[in-house]
Amino acid sequence: MTRHLPILYSFRRCPYAMRARLAIAGSGLQVELREVVLKDKPAAMLEASPKGTVPVLIRPEGRVIDESRDIMRWALRSNDPHNWLAADNPDLLWQIEGLIQENDFVFKQHLDRYKYADRHPGHPQSYYREQCEVTLVKLERLLQQSAFLSGDSESLADIAIFPFIRQFAHVDRDWFYSAPYPKLQRWLDYYIESELFSQIMRKYSPWKDSDTPVVFP
């Protein structure tokens, strides 16, 4: 029975949807997963969130959460077995939030231009990559000091940022893995090779209203 489960509209390769699924899986909660085709978004999803981007979570009582960061926090505030929220450490919480803010509002803008450089002919692709590297240098320095971005234990920062570093690396894998970021490369590979990532990247058919509900994870 899934009628009391939250509904998650998701797209497998979207980094925002990835991190929402990572947090949900890490929390131990379950949702009804509805895989979306971005060129043919379900009417039910658009009715719930007219902006039309994934992920979108609909709670059983009808409340809609349509920002990935909010979905992550919703899941982990319900259950946080790995202490990813670092709720008992206000100073660490500020550091985590700062890292996520830089990723979402600075790095992601440069990443989009790097990935789709042909759409932004004002500069060569290498220019946009150099803008991304400002963040990569910061992350490399953090990982030289500890195993994870905010200390020796993983946190929401790692889970929230990992999908975007993965996306960056895939634009030019040869360049990334020959660049002077050995700690970042190792950190990225740790998550790519993790059981958690394998779990959240399972392929599902695009959702149709007549389908049997898919419970995730």
112-148 per-position pLDDT tens digit: 999 999 999 999 999 999 999 999 999 999 999 999 9
Per-residue pLDDT for 14 more than 70? Answer: yes
Span 167-175, average pLDDT: 98
Whether the per-residue pLDDT at 81 is higher than 60: the answer is: yes
CA nearest neighbour of 171 among 214, 138, 128: 128
Q: What is the pLDDT of residues 22-76, one digit of tens each?
A: 999 999 999 999 999 999 999 999 999 999 999 999 999 999 999 999 999 999 9
Whether this model's pTM surpasses 0.85: yes
DSSP-derived secondary structure letter, 50: T
pLDDT at residue 2 is higher than 60: no
Angle at 17 (CA atoms; ends 118, 87), nearest 5 degrees: 125
Please report which residue ranges of 55-154 form alpha helices under DSSP H: 68-78, 90-102, 108-115, 125-145
Domains and CATH numbers, the chain: 7-83+200-216 (3.40.30.10), 90-196 (1.20.1050.10)
